[in-house]
Each structure stands twice: as C-alpha cells, then as structure tokens.
C-alpha cells in the first residue's frame, strides 16, 4: 500500500502530530514521517520524548531564516520527497509556513491533504501573522478538514467547505498531554532539576506560581516591552508570587528583556525554552499561565488552569467562553488586574468538559481515514475509546 505521509516542521506540529503517527502504526497503516526541521532543536526534543525518529529530515533551518527561505525551500524539497515516496495521503497540522508550503506542493503533485487542527480563524489576515494567511491558503487545498472544536468546524462550513469533508475530532494536543502526563507519573521521563527546584522553593515559601511566555511577531512593535514592564511591576509588588519565564531567544525579545530590566527582580526566574516534558510538568503544576502561544493556551485550559492570553485576538476562543481564559492583549493595566484576579480565583475543574477534546483525537482521525479512504478500508485500528460511529466524529 502507498503510505500516509506526516509532515512537521516545528515543535507544536510535532507534539500534535506524533499521536497520529503512533495511531497509524497501531493500525498497521504504512506511514512516513517527514521533518522539514523549520525549527531544529525544539522539534528534536519532541521526537526524543516520544522515542520517534523521522524517516526523512530536510534540515532546512538556517541562521536568520525568513518566510521566503522557508516557503521556497519546503516547496522545492517536498516536490522531490513526494516523487520519491509517492504517498496516498499527506497529513499536516496547524498553520506554520511548513504546513502552507507542504499543502501547496501536495496540490501541485495531485496528492490529497488532510489538515489536522483545521478551521481556526481570527478573521484578521494580519493576526496572527503569518499563521492566519497560512491556514486560509491551506484550506483551499485540503480534502479532509480535521477540526478540533465545533466552532472550528462551523468556520469551515461557513466558508463553503463541503459538509462531508469536515470532521470535528478534538485537538490532538490533548492526546499528547495524556501520553506525556502518563510518562511523568510513571517517571519514565526525567524532569529537569531547575524545574522541580522552582516549585519546591515556591511551595516552601507558600508562593503562588505563574508561567509567563511571550514571543509573537505582532508584539514586537512595543507590546512585549509594555507587558514586560508590567510583569516587573507586578513581581516587585507581589513577592509572594514566583514567576517562571522561559524566554524566546529572538533578538526583539532579548532587547525588550534588557530594556525592562527583568533580571533584577528576584521572583522572576528566567530560563531557556523548556523541553516538552518540562513544559508539561510545569503546566500540570503551575497556578496561572500568561502566554501568547496558541498551543499553551490549549494545553493550560485542558488542564483546568487560568490563562491570560497576551494577544489582541485569539482563534481559540473556547477557553474564553468557558471562563478559563481572558484576552489581555498588550494592555499593561489589564494584565496586572487580570493576573491578580486569576491568582485569587479558586481552581476551576473542567476535567469532564473536554473543551479541546477527550484525548483520543488521533484514533478518530485514523478511523476516518480507514472509513473514507479505500486504500485502508480493510484495516482495523484497535481503539481504546468508544467512537460509536464515524458520524459521531463529525457532529457539530
């Protein structure tokens, strides 16, 4: 049989795609994992946690790479990959430039595309940039839209996508969380000592804890500096709160850090970007999360954490509607107010709500591929979750 090919380029893609890779293997469907290595080190970390090695690594990353380099290189390289591997179906995830260029290459070579986490929209092509553009482009070349939430599925239908091509399956980030949480509890992965020390010291002092991350391009025009100054003010006036800040090495972020003089505040702990296992441990243990990351929004909300979204617009509004997340943007006064409010709020249990999925989206996607794609229709995936009928996965 011709294989299913999974293409990933960044760490978030790896986190959300590897559960599908494992589910395809479990179903004995031939699968090829291709990494563009748009982000090399961070993506390798995810492969290590899941004990997976990509079959193809394009290794396109270079210093000071821009969108032109990523787009043209991925487009050119995938032409040769598709010719050599001849996949029956290509699966991509999310909204990176790797995803957009891969979808374009698949379209040019007449290979059907399945889009995991389809249908996220802000309605503003400039925000997030370039992700909103990427996912709009990709939706034009996609045959199977695997939407993470009913709202995402509704967005696709409103744009005129065929009803039979849209499936509401949940977000595979919850699958990945389920897998890594089990590994952490079983102690089959080792958490870095600086992470466990952070919580040990904070809890010994009776401190609440906050995870802070901020790195998006649309904040580079002064927004990140405003929030960092507000974070410093908050930390200085709340010594009973311990803040972990895994800072992004982007020069704009480093410059803002230097100007805001964050390093002078004792209860703000700056660390390098966290490995996936360390990040999962932090999210399981932390009290409040402030972030502009889409994936961390989903992970934190799925774990029942209060989240401050450091963006003006979000394509993941389900957490906001549920009362677990709040849009703060780059307003320093609102940031301080909402952070104080979140720390005072009681824990909110959403274990049974499954806003972003029940942890078995990957198995649903594989079952849909088997049902709708004749090449794999005679194969059975041993499901651990009651799917009932495939029509249930499409229910809005």
206, burial (CB in 10 Å: exposed 0-12, middle 13-18, buried 19+): exposed
Decide if 129 contacts 218 (C-beta within 8 A).
yes
Catalytic residue among 45, 77, 95, 338: 95
Catalytic residue among 217, 258, 385, 389: 217
Active site residue 217: yes
- Quote the CA–CA distance of 91 and 88 in Å, as a whole number: 10
Of 232, 359, 334, 342, give the one whose Cα is nearest residue 287. 342
- Quote the CA–CA distance of 47 and 64 in Å, as a whole number: 24
Catalytic residue among 39, 145, 238, 248: 248
Active site residue 215: yes
Q: Going edge to edge, which strands form the sheet with 268-271?
A: 268-271, 241-246, 208-213, 288-291, 306-309, 325-327
* Coil, helix or strand at residue 250: coil
Please give the backbone phi and psi of residue 252, each rounded to the nearest 5 degrees, phi first: -65, -40
Please give the backbone phi and psi of residue 177, each rounded to the nearest 5 degrees, phi first: -60, -40
- Quote the CA–CA distance of 376 and 314 in Å, as a whole number: 37
| Peptide bond connecting 267 to the previous residue in cis, omega within 30 degrees of 0 | no
Decide if 137 contacts 161 (C-beta within 8 A).
no
Decide if 329 contacts 349 (C-beta within 8 A).
no
Active site residue 131: yes
- DSSP 3-state percent helix, strand, coil across the chain (nearest 5): 50, 15, 35
Q: Which long-range contacts (CB under 8 A, 24 or more apart) does 199-202 make?
A: 199/285, 201/242, 202/242
* Coil, helix or strand at residue 168: strand
Active site residue 238: no
Catalytic residue among 13, 117, 292, 312: 117
Decide if 84 contacts 72 (C-beta within 8 A).
no
Active site residue 248: yes
Catalytic residue among 39, 121, 135, 215: 215
DSSP 357: -
Side-chain half-sphere exposure of 123, counting CA atoms within 13 A: 7
Catalytic residue among 77, 131, 175, 318: 131
Tracing tokens 């989903």 back to the chain, one arrives at 298
Decide if 126 contacts 158 (C-beta within 8 A).
no
Active site residue 11: no
Give the pair of three-digit tokens for residue 176: 């990945």
Decide if 297 contacts 314 (C-beta within 8 A).
yes
Q: Which residues are catalytic?
A: 95, 117, 131, 215, 217, 248
């Amino acid at each position: 049989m011709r294989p299913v090919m999974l293409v990933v380029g960044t760490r978030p893609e790896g986190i959300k795609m590897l559960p599908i890779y494992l589910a395809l293997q479990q179903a004995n469907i031939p699968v090829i994992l291709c990494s563009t290595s748009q982000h090399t080190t961070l993506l390798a970390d995810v492969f290590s946690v899941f004990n997976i090695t990509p079959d193809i690594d394009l290794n396109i990353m270079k210093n000071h790479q821009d969108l032109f380099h990523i787009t043209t290189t991925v487009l050119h390289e995938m032409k040769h990959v598709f010719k050599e591997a001849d996949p029956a179906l290509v699966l991509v995830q999310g909204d990176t430039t790797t995803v957009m260029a891969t979808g374009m290459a698949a379209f040019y070579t007449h290979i059907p595309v399945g889009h995991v986490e389809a249908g996220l929209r802000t309605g503003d092509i400039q925000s997030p940039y370039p992700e909103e553009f990427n996912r709009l482009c990709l939706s034009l070349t996609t045959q199977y839209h695997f939407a993470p939430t009913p709202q995402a599925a509704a967005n696709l239908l409103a744009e005129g996508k065929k009803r039979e091509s849209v499936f509401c399956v949940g977000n595979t980030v919850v699958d990945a969380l389920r897998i890594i949480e089990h590994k952490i509890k079983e102690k089959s992965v080792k958490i870095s000592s600086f992470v466990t020390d952070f919580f040990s010291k904070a809890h010994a002092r009776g401190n609440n804890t906050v995870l802070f991350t901020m790195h998006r391009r649309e904040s580079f025009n002064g927004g990140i500096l405003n929030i960092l100054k507000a974070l410093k003010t908050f930390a200085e006036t709340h010594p009973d709160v311990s803040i972990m800040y895994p800072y992004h090495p982007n020069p704009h972020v480093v410059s803002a850090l230097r100007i805001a003089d964050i390093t002078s505040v004792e209860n703000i702990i700056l660390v390098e970007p966290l490995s996936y296992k360390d990040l999962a441990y932090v999210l399981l243990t932390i009290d409040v999360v402030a972030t502009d990351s889409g994936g961390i929004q989903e992970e934190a909300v799925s774990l029942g954490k209060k989240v401050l979204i450091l963006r003006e617009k979000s394509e993941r509004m389900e957490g906001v509607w549920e009362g677990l997340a709040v849009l703060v943007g780059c307003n320093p006064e609102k940031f301080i107010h909402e952070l104080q409010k979140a720390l005072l709020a009681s824990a909110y249990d959403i274990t049974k709500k499954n806003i972003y999925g029940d942890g078995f989206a990957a198995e649903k996607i594989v079952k849909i591929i088997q049902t709708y794609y004749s090449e794999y229709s005679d194969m059975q995936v041993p499901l651990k979750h009651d799917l009932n009928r495939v029509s249930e996965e499409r229910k809005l």
